[in-house]
Amino acid sequence: MLLGAIQNGACTIQPTRIDFSSDELLDMIARCGLNRLRQFPAFLGIHMRNSRMNPKLLAQLCALDEIFYSGQAMPQEDEEWAYKNDMKLFNVFANTECGIMLTSIRGGGRPGPSLRPISGMKYGFFPVAGTDGQSNGAYQNLNSSLVELVILGDSPDCPDPSLRAADGHYHTGDLFLEVEPGAYISRGRNDDWIKSSTALRCDTKAIEDNVRATCEDLVSECIVVGNLRPSPVLFIEANPTLTMDAEQLKKDILRRTRHFHSRRYVHERITSAKMIMVVPAGTLPRTITKGNIRRRAVEDMFKTELDAIFDA
């Protein structure tokens, strides 16, 4: 972002902190002439939520030339709110090694916009082994055709050969679903998919997204683990304003998510309160920069508890 600002002769405003308040954002717009906002969704969500109750903030967000987000998926309710109010959202897919690779249409008008490769680059979208759906009839397996984004060796943005695979290409580990010719939606990273004890893939991100959508008032954060286990296990940090005990909380989450899990493959379902663990706020290990919960670190931290669940 800084290099792009320099290239275009733009100014960059340095906030007081990475999760700056909506009042500070309004001050940036009024005093500094901010017209393009660029944030991770976790921090952008602060302003989206506040704009529901602050007409002035909503008007200023709608007036921005661009609201750029990347690095994480934006919560569906925030995206829907932004598009409902015609905010000029712009999403890109990027990584540290290659920079920006895929972009959406600015102000595309609907949540979950598809992404297209930027021009001049050479990418491959290669099928991922082990995602051919099992015949189940209960629902259509939309993830049966997952592809991995691969930066081809002769692409201008392909990283140094030391980072490439044996085939000479850079495998990003990022998975996509092609929704129309040349247009893709992200389905998370390869490590967002865990393998059950029967070697079948489980889409942890879909489970987490459902929990956030149906239990927003109960859960402040969640993560699904269970690599090489018979069933996934849901870890949650409860909403700090709740007064109910952990067992009642588990039952409420199970009730709200029951319909979703009834349509999953057997090895992807969470159908027992024993497969839900409630931990204190701030317990789950996070990355320093984006604050993402580290799935494998959770597996390691709670290995004893996970062993006990499945031994029982």
What whole-number distance in Å separates Cα of residue 89 and Cα of residue 81? 11
What is the side-by-side order of every strand in the sheet holding 66-69?
36-39, 66-69, 89-95, 99-103, 116-117
What number is the average pLDDT over the span 174-196? 83
In degrees and rounded to multiples of 5, residue 78 shows phi and psi of -70, -40
Rounded Cα distance, 160 and 168, in Å: 10
**What DSSP designation does 197 have?**
T
Residue, of 135 and 22, whose pLDDT is higher = 22
Radius of gyration, alpha carbons of the chain: 21
Q: What is the pLDDT of residue 15?
A: 93
The helix (H) or strand (E) run that includes residue 102 is strand 99-103
Nearest to 272 by CA among 300, 299, 304, 232: 232
Over range 199-219, report the average pLDDT: 89
3-class secondary-structure state, position 306: helix
Q: What is the pLDDT of residues 189-205, one digit of tens each?
A: 776 777 777 667 788 98
Cα angle: 279, vertex 207, 195; to 5 degrees: 95
Give the bridge partners for 37, in sequence order: 67
Whole-number pLDDT of residue 138 = 34
Dump pLDDT digits (tens) for 107-156. Answer: 556 666 789 999 999 999 998 764 443 333 333 345 557 899 999 999 99
Contact 16, 24 (CB under 8 A): yes
Cβ atoms 192, 203 nearer than 8 A: yes
| 236 and 222 Cβ atoms separated by less than 8 Å | yes
Q: How many CB atoms lie within 10 A of CB 145?
A: 14
27 vs 92 pLDDT, higher one: 27
For the chain, percent of residues with pLDDT exceeding 70: 91
User: In one letter, which amino acid is 298?
Assistant: V
Quick check: 304 pLDDT over 90?
A: yes
- pLDDT, position 112: 66
